[in-house]
């Protein structure tokens, strides 16, 4: 199964990719989030070219696991992407991905593609665990 993960932000969207047959999650880069129609179109092309079967999108929940202000915008984005591509979207808690991406890259700035990589890695760990049940 092929996956992409998105770390959605108002200015940038981090993208990561994985194929569950080899369990390697790769950060692919960052998409500028200046025009949502262009973003949806570019992601749709990528999703169809790579035969992506599931889209994972991080939700920045609070430490109390409550939705933050941007969560409704992210859910709308995910719904739009799912309707455009026909590929199922799964939302996952990304509460620690920013801090972990800073540690992994060794700098104070967040790397959005590494954050997407962390979101996807966490999802795949849960996904594979659930397959064994």
Q: What is the pLDDT of residue 131?
A: 44
Tally of structural domains, the chain? 1
Q: What is the pLDDT of residue 128?
A: 60
Query: Stretch 62-86: mean pLDDT, rounded?
Result: 93
Residue 118 domain-assigned?
no
User: Structural domain of residue 100, as residue ranges?
Assistant: 2-111
- Quote the mean pLDDT of the chain: 86
Separation in Å, CA 114 to CA 5, 47, 65, 67, 117: 10, 19, 22, 22, 5
Residue 83 domain-assigned?
yes
CA distance linking residue 52 with residue 2, whole number of Å: 5
Residue 53, token pair as written in the block: 């079967």
CA distance linking residue 85 with residue 108, whole number of Å: 35
pLDDT surpasses 50 at 132: no
Q: What is the pLDDT of residue 103?
A: 54
How are the residues of the chain apportioned to helix, strand and coil, as percentages rounded to the nearest 5? Answer: 45, 25, 30
Residue 45 domain-assigned?
yes
Q: How crowded is residue 106: how many other Cβ atoms within 10 Å of its Cβ?
A: 7
- pLDDT 10s digits, 14-35: 999 998 777 789 999 999 999 9
Residue 126 domain-assigned?
no
Phi-psi region for residue 126, left (φ > 0), alpha (ψ -120 to 50) or beta?
alpha
Residue 120 domain-assigned?
no
User: What's the CATH number where 44 sits?
Assistant: 3.30.420.140
Residue 107 domain-assigned?
yes
Residue 37 domain-assigned?
yes
DSSP state of 53: -
Residue 133 domain-assigned?
no
List beta partners, residue 13: 8, 31
């Amino acid at each position: 199964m092929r996956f992409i993960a998105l770390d959605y932000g108002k200015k940038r969207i981090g993208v990561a990719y994985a194929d569950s047959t080899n369990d390697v999650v790769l950060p692919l880069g960052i998409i500028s989030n200046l025009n949502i129609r262009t973003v949806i179109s570019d992601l749709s092309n990528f999703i169809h070219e790579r035969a992506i079967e599931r889209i994972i999108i991080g939700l920045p929940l609070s430490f109390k696991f409550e939705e933050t202000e941007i969560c409704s915008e992210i859910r709308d984005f995910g719904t739009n992407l799912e309707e455009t591509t026909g590929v199922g979207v799964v939302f996952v808690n990304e509460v620690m991905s920013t801090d972990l991406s800073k540690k992994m890259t060794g700098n104070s700035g967040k790397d959005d593609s590494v954050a997407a990589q962390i979101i996807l890695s966490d999802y795949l760990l849960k996904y594979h665990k659930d397959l064994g049940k």
